Amino acid sequence: MSTAAAPATILVVFGTRPEAIKLFPVVAALEADPRFRPVVCVSAQHREMLDQVLSIAGIVPDYDLNVMQPGQTLDALTAQLLVGLGKVMDEVQPDRVIVQGDTATAMAGALAAYYRKLPVDHVEAGLRSGNIYHPWPEEINRKIIGSMAALHFAPTATSAAALHAENVDPARVHVTGNTVIDALHWVSEKIAAEPALAAGLAPLEARFAGKRIIGVTSHRRENFGGGLEAIADAVRRIAARPDVALVFPVHPNPNVRMVMNDALAGLDNVALIEPLDYPHFARLLGLAEIMLTDSGGVQEEAPALGKPVLVMRETTERPEGLAAGTAKLVGTDADRIVTEISALLDDKAAYEAMARAHNPFGDGTAARRIVEILGNEIGRQT
Ligand code: UD1
Ligand code: UDP
Per residue in 165-178, pLDDT (tens digit) is 999 999 999 999 99
Q: Which atom of ligand 2 is nearest to the CA of 297?
A: 23
pLDDT in tens, 65-104: 999 998 889 999 999 999 999 999 999 999 999 999 999 9
DSSP for residue 222 = G
Q: Which atom of ligand 1 is nearest to the CA of 221?
A: 38
Residue 358: count of CB within 10 angstroms of its CB: 13
Q: pLDDT grade, residue 356 (50/70/90)?
A: confident
Cα 206 to middle of ligand 1, angstroms: 31
Q: Which helix (H) or strand (E) holds 151?
A: strand 151-154
Active site residue 251: yes
Mean pLDDT (the chain) is 96
Write down the catalytic residue from 64, 138, 233, 294: 138
Question: How high is the pLDDT of residue 197?
Answer: 98
Question: How high is the pLDDT of residue 380?
Answer: 78
Residue ID of nearest Cα to ligand 2 atom 25 = 296
Residue ID of nearest Cα to ligand 1 atom 20 = 46
Q: pLDDT grade, residue 132 (50/70/90)?
A: very high
For residues 138 and 297, the answer to whether their CB atoms sit within 8 Å is no
Mean pLDDT of the 244-258 span? 96
Active site residue 164: no
Gap between the Cα atoms of 183 and 178, Å rounded: 9
Q: Which atom of ligand 1 is nearest to the CA of 253?
A: 29
Gap between the Cα atoms of 227 and 6, Å rounded: 52
pLDDT in tens, 223-236: 898 999 999 999 99
Q: pLDDT grade, residue 3 (50/70/90)?
A: low
β-pair partners for 346: none
SS3 (DSSP) at 230: helix
Gap between the Cα atoms of 101 and 125, Å rounded: 7
Mean pLDDT of the 119-139 span? 97
Active site residue 46: no
Write down the catalytic residue from 33, 64, 102, 233: 102
Question: How high is the pLDDT of residue 1?
Answer: 45
pTM for this one? Answer: 0.98
Cα 215 to middle of ligand 2, angstroms: 12
Question: How high is the pLDDT of residue 2?
Answer: 46
User: Which residues have a Cβ under 8 Å from the Cβ of 350 and sit 6 or more positions away?
Assistant: 343, 344
β-pair partners for 42: 14, 64
Active site residue 280: no
The closest alpha carbon to 98, from 371, 295, 301, belongs to: 371
For residues 332 and 312, the answer to whether their CB atoms sit within 8 Å is yes
Q: Which helix (H) or strand (E) holds 41?
A: strand 36-42
pLDDT in tens, 260-317: 999 999 999 999 999 999 999 999 999 999 999 999 999 999 999 999 999 999 899 9
Angle between helices 296-304 and 179-193 (to 10 degrees): 60
Cα 17 to middle of ligand 2, angstroms: 6
Gap between the Cα atoms of 138 and 120, Å rounded: 18
pLDDT over 70 (residue 382): no
Question: How high is the pLDDT of residue 225?
Answer: 84
Give the E-state strand segments of 253-316 in sequence order.
270-273, 290-293, 309-311
Q: Which atom of ligand 1 is nearest to the CA of 102?
A: 11
Question: How high is the pLDDT of residue 4?
Answer: 67
Cα 217 to middle of ligand 2, angstroms: 8
Please report the domains of the chain, with CATH numbers, ordered by start residue.
8-178+363-381 (3.40.50.2000), 199-355 (3.40.50.2000)
Gap between the Cα atoms of 166 and 120, Å rounded: 18
Residue 345: count of CB within 10 angstroms of its CB: 18
Cα 18 to middle of ligand 2, angstroms: 6
For residues 276 and 285, the answer to whether their CB atoms sit within 8 Å is no
Gap between the Cα atoms of 147 and 205, Å rounded: 47
Active site residue 19: no
